[in-house]
């Protein structure tokens, strides 16, 4: 792999041990994946923030790198933490977990990372342009950036994203190269897609079937997919499979203007979403918490939740997770007050995967996100229901899943 003089200097340690370590990671990935060169990145998004996922070993790793003088050189944002960084005590997060989570945040702050704590940075000011090289690590954000924005990123791990932020570079392989962005799986969807949870269930099913093929969707009927629907679709495929890029005919930028379908693509047809709903939905009747906002909610999703509540009082908890940026705008627009008036919460910074749910007395969660349902099951051990926003809000008002 070709390295410039400046990159060689970084690798030799001339810019200090923190930069040397970062360049070692970036260059090693380039060698493994047979990249010809490194490319500059316009922005970085770093996962590996929740203390519940990182643990002490992860916290020590970050502190050590920060202590060696690691500093990011391009705009770098953070994935969600395991709690709302301001309201965590009010929400019942245990003191020890909360303090440790704040130490993780301080390590990132010391490196110059923006404490944005969101998996939808593209809704909060970090919106890469078409064709730009970036190094993002949250799988749903990677999918959105590649597919909906037409930016170029592989699915980075937490340390490799941070290494890209410190060097300002990533190795040019995988989805950074146009030839690897061509779809090999046509997905003909003949059933109607009428809600976010429908797009989410579809994504779950296709993610499991896609293997290493990039999907190219043809949608027959139902909602014209907008930003929120594409966000839900991509997040689900990235969770149930390893899909980091998809195209929707006539909708996503590379399927609108370019020919991104391989001549030897195979085809599958999806006639019903039952398989997706059945795989993710459980049998629990009692619901402790309803979770909307996985990936982090847009303004429209917060507003739709408030509309669905329509002033009804809650019997269980209802949290809408979002970025602090979107929360501020939703406050100004009044939808946060409408949710709070029903005794719900709009929670910033947080993802429930990695949050101390059991210590907070939460053992059953309902969500309209198949990614949320999938990871709640596999990572937290709580009981899960998966359904539409209307069903989830209804469950929150009764404390029970609707019959
Ligand atoms: Fe975001 Fe957590 Fe869902 S990182 S996509 S809210 S699992």
Is residue 295 lining ligand 1, measured as CB closer than 6 Å?
yes
Q: What separation in angstroms does the CA of 299 have from each of 142, 227, 330, 370?
A: 20, 11, 6, 20
Is residue 74 lining ligand 1, measured as CB closer than 6 Å?
no
Q: Whose CA is nearest to atom 1 of ligand 1?
A: 295
- pLDDT-derived band at 256, boundaries 50, 70, 90: confident
Q: Whose CA is nearest to atom 2 of ligand 1?
A: 351
Mean pLDDT of 14-22: 97
- pLDDT-derived band at 128, boundaries 50, 70, 90: very high
For 206-242, how does the pLDDT look when each residue is reduced to its tens digit (9 = 90+)? 999 998 899 999 998 777 899 999 999 999 999 999 9
Domains of the chain: 5-178 (3.30.499), 182-277 (no CATH), 281-398 (3.30.499.10)
List the alpha helices (DSSP H) in 168-211: 196-210
Q: CB-based contacts of 336: which residues, under 8 Å, 6+ apart?
A: 302, 327, 330, 346
Mutate to test the pocket of ligand 1, among 49, 80, 235 (most ligand atoms within 8 A of CB): 80
Q: What separation in angstroms does the CA of 218 have from each of 66, 110, 283, 308?
A: 47, 46, 33, 30
Is residue 231 lining ligand 1, measured as CB closer than 6 Å?
no
Q: Percentage of residues in the chain with pLDDT exceeding 70?
A: 99
For 130-153, how does the pLDDT look when each residue is reduced to its tens digit (9 = 90+)? 999 999 999 999 999 999 999 999
Ligand 1 mean position to 372 CA, how many Å?
Answer: 7
Is residue 35 lining ligand 1, measured as CB closer than 6 Å?
no
Ligand 1 mean position to 308 CA, how many Å?
Answer: 22
- Parallel, antiparallel, or unpaired: how do β-strands 169-171 and 215-219 relate? unpaired
pLDDT score of 258 = 67
3-state DSSP of 52-117: HHHHHHHHHHHHHHHHCCCCCCCCEEECCECCCCCCCCCCCCCHHHHHHHHHHHHHHHHCCCECCC
Q: In the predicted model, what is the mean pLDDT of the chain?
A: 96
H/E element, 171: strand 169-171
Q: Whose CA is nearest to atom 6 of ligand 1?
A: 294
Mutate to test the pocket of ligand 1, among 353, 354, 368 (most ligand atoms within 8 A of CB): 353
Lowest mean pLDDT across 40-44, 221-225, 360-364, 397-401: 221-225
Mutate to test the pocket of ligand 1, among 120, 123, 294, 377 (most ligand atoms within 8 A of CB): 294
SS3 assignment, position 361: coil
Is residue 289 lining ligand 1, measured as CB closer than 6 Å?
no
Residue 237 and residue 143 in contact, taking contact as beta carbons nearer than 8 Å = yes
pTM for the full model? Answer: 0.96
pLDDT score of 340 = 98
Burial class of residue 241 in the structure, from the number of CB atoms within 10 Å of its CB (0-12 exposed, 13-18 middle, 19+ buried): buried
Q: Whose CA is nearest to atom 3 of ligand 1?
A: 294
Atom of ligand 1 nearest to the CA of 79: 4
Is residue 235 lining ligand 1, measured as CB closer than 6 Å?
yes
Residue 218 and residue 188 in contact, taking contact as beta carbons nearer than 8 Å = yes
Is residue 107 lining ligand 1, measured as CB closer than 6 Å?
no
pLDDT of 57 over the 90 cut: yes
For 268-315, how does the pLDDT look when each residue is reduced to its tens digit (9 = 90+)? 999 999 999 999 999 999 999 999 999 999 999 999 999 999 999 999
Closest CA relative to residue 121, chosen from 402, 322, 382: 322
Mutate to test the pocket of ligand 1, among 296, 320, 323, 384 (most ligand atoms within 8 A of CB): 296
pLDDT of 318 over the 70 cut: yes
């Amino acid at each position: 792999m070709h390295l410039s003089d400046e990159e060689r200097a970084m690798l030799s340690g001339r810019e200090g041990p923190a930069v040397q370590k970062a360049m070692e990671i970036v260059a090693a990935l380039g060698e493994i994946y047979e990249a010809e060169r490194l490319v500059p990145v316009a922005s970085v998004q770093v996962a590996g923030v929740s203390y519940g996922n990182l643990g002490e070993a992860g916290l020590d790793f970050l502190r050590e790198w920060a202590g060696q003088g690691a500093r990011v050189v391009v705009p770098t944002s953070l994935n969600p933490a395991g709690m709302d960084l301001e309201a965590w005590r009010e929400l019942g997060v245990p003191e020890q977990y909360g303090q440790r989570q704040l130490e993780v945040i301080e390590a990132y702050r010391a490196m110059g990372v923006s404490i944005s704590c969101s998996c939808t940075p593209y809704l909060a000011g970090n919106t890469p342009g078409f064709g730009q090289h970036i190094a993002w690590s949250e799988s749903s954000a990677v999918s959105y950036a590649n597919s909906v924005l037409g930016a170029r990123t592989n699915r980075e791990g937490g340390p490799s994203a941070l290494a890209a932020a410190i060097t300002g570079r990533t190795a040019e392989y995988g989805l950074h190269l146009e030839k690897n962005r061509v779809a090999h799986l046509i997905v003909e969807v003949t059933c109607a897609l009428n809600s976010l949870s429908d797009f989410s269930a579809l994504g779950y099913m296709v993610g499991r079937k896609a293997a290493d093929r990039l999907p190219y969707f043809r949608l027959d009927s139902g909602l014209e997919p907008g930003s929120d629907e594409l966000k839900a679709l991509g997040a689900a495929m990235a969770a149930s499979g390893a899909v980091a890029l998809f195209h929707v005919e006539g909708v996503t930028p590379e399927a609108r203007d370019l020919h991104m379908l391989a001549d030897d693509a195979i085809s599958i047809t999806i006639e019903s979403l039952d398989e997706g709903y059945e795989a993710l939905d459980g049998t629990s009747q009692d619901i402790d918490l309803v979770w909307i906002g996985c990936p982090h909610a847009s303004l429209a999703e917060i507003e739709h939740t408030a509309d669905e509540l329509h002033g009804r009082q809650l019997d269980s908890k209802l949290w809408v997770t979002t970025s602090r940026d979107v929360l501020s705008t939703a406050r100004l627009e009044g939808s946060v007050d409408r949710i709070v008036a029903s005794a719900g919460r709009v929670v910033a910074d947080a993802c429930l995967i990695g949050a101390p749910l059991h210590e907070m007395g939460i053992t059953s969660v309902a969500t309209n996100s198949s990614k949320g349902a999938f990871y709640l099951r596999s990572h937290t051990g709580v009981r899960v229901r998966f359904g539409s926003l209307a069903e989830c809000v209804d469950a929150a008002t009764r404390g029970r899943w609707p019959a």
